[in-house]
Amino acid sequence: MAHLLHTSFLPSSSSAAVLRRPQTRIFRVSRGRVRVDAKIREIFMPALSSTMTEGKIVSWIKMEGDKLAKGESVVVVESDKADMDVETFYDGYLAKIMVDEGGVAPVGSAIALLAESEDEIAEAQAKAATAASSSTETASTTATVATSVEPPRTEGKVKVGITAAAMAGSAVHPASEGGKRIVASPYAKKLAKELKVELGTVVGTGPMGRIVAKDVEAALSAATAATPAAAAPPPTAGVELGSVVPFTTMQGAVSRNMLESLSVPTFRVGYTITTNALDALYKKIKSKGVTMTALLAKATALALVKHPVVNSSCRDGNSFTYNSSINIAVAVAIDGGLITPVLQDADKADIYSLSRKWKELVDKARAKQLQPHEYNTGTFTLSNLGMFGVDRFDAILPSGTGAIMAVGASQPTVVASKDGRIGMKNQMQVNVTADHRVIYGADLAQFLQSLAKIIEDPKDLTF
């Protein structure tokens, strides 16, 4: 019978501890008679990326006592890469919030309880209180007493669906009564902070009263029109010297990934590429929305087609994979960290589509709204500091990939031609860091030669 109902529940007996039982809701009590128990499920912290170990509650979209329908967003969670809406796959009532806004919880731990019916809300809250007191008592005794309790199972927890937190918001609940809590999309909160708009004065026009970005912009316009001569706000306080600042979720993930990368044996190869033809092409098609990042990604992808080993990856130390797609990840600095949006199948997309996609990815990255497949599927990485005037640098290899290329600024350089004449050419330095378990020096040298030919004669970039 257990295989028929794929959910677990918390037992309704008031004396029982908060435990997960096997996957059944109906159990036998005596001589063929059965009793149906109340179903109280846990909503747990989901893993929103392969590197996520804990998540931060940005905001609860629903409040305790609210009725939930399958597919509705319940909470916004900050992962190590983005803010994501978490949806429930079950109908019910949000009985108890166990991790408040701003709180952090490990992946897989309970953050709320979901009751099947309204009558079970009080019971769920009582069980949450019992669980809290039980966990406190357990913590005080585990130092001296070994327990034989079976570790909690995870398959019985509430399944959740994950969608990127849309800039316009999704199905949400209005602010709580009395103005105790303001419900706004993550992007609206970020925009309000940047524009110094008090969210308490903004009227939400999103679903069920949620404040969205256009509401913040409208409030700013109204305030500006009402007080055109208002003094500029005082500058924000600077960094407090000597203070200790804990890592954000994203910074913690970057730290772990960098340490993991140091375990890979890497080497570096540099190359000088003349960019006069590429610069001329860029000036010609820039007005059509083409970006230099898209041009470099396209050129890199076309070179990788000829040298698939540079697009390969080694994950287990015993074998490597020739990746079937060429997905160019490009490092982007965002507030509080770094992320690598991915241009998928960059060798197959035309330069105009690639540029539009890149602009879309950057906007989503800076609003922390990238979906997992938009930042964790890269097979080769670009890191470009040329826009800052940096002429050369080395990049750390991201874990799970075979190579990363650091791109410096294109600068006028005095060079000698083959016939001995002196002239000026625009040149840039690129340095590739690669996994030496899979990629060797000759592989990178040949790849860079192909890349230089494509950039120095870029006719193939626009086809």
Burial of residue 60 (number of CB atoms within 10 Å: 0-12, 13-18, 19+): buried
Q: Please report, as a single letter, which amino acid is at residue 281.
A: L
Alpha-carbon 62 to chain mean position: 22
- CB crowding 308-339: b at 16 or more within 10 Å, else e: ebbbbbbeeeeebeebeebbbbbbbebeebbb
Backbone angles phi, psi at 227, to 5 degrees: -130, 75
**C-alpha separations of 183 from 180, 200, 231 in Å:** 10, 10, 29
Neighbours of 227 (CB within 10 A): 9
By C-alpha distance, which of 290, 414, 310, 445 is closest to 357? 290
β partners of residue 413 = 425
Rounded Cα gap, residues 60 and 128, in angstroms? 18
Active-site pick, 3, 6, 373, 436? 436
CA nearest neighbour of 313 among 371, 264, 382 = 264
Residue 350's nearest CA partner among 305, 382, 302 is 302
Residue 307 annotated among the catalytic residues of the structure: no
Phi, psi of 381 (to 5 degrees): -120, 140
How many CA atoms, within 13 angstroms, populate the side-chain half-sphere of residue 208?
Answer: 16
Could you give the maximum distance between any two Cα atoms of the chain, in Å? 102
Helix or strand run (H / E) with residue 443: helix 441-456
Q: Contacts by 233-239 with C-beta closer than 8 Å and gap 24+?
A: 233/196
The stretches of 145-275 forming alpha helices (DSSP H) are 186-195, 213-226, 249-261
Length of the chain: 463
- Return the axis-axis angle of helices 213-226 and 186-195, rounded to nearest 10°: 20
Q: List the structure tokens of 300.
A: 């890199």
Is residue 136 within 8 A of residue 128, CB to CB? The reply is no
Residues 6+ apart with CB under 8 A from 447: 303, 304, 306, 307, 310, 432
Q: How far apart are CA 249 and CA 404, in angstroms?
A: 24
What residues are labeled active site?
Answer: 436
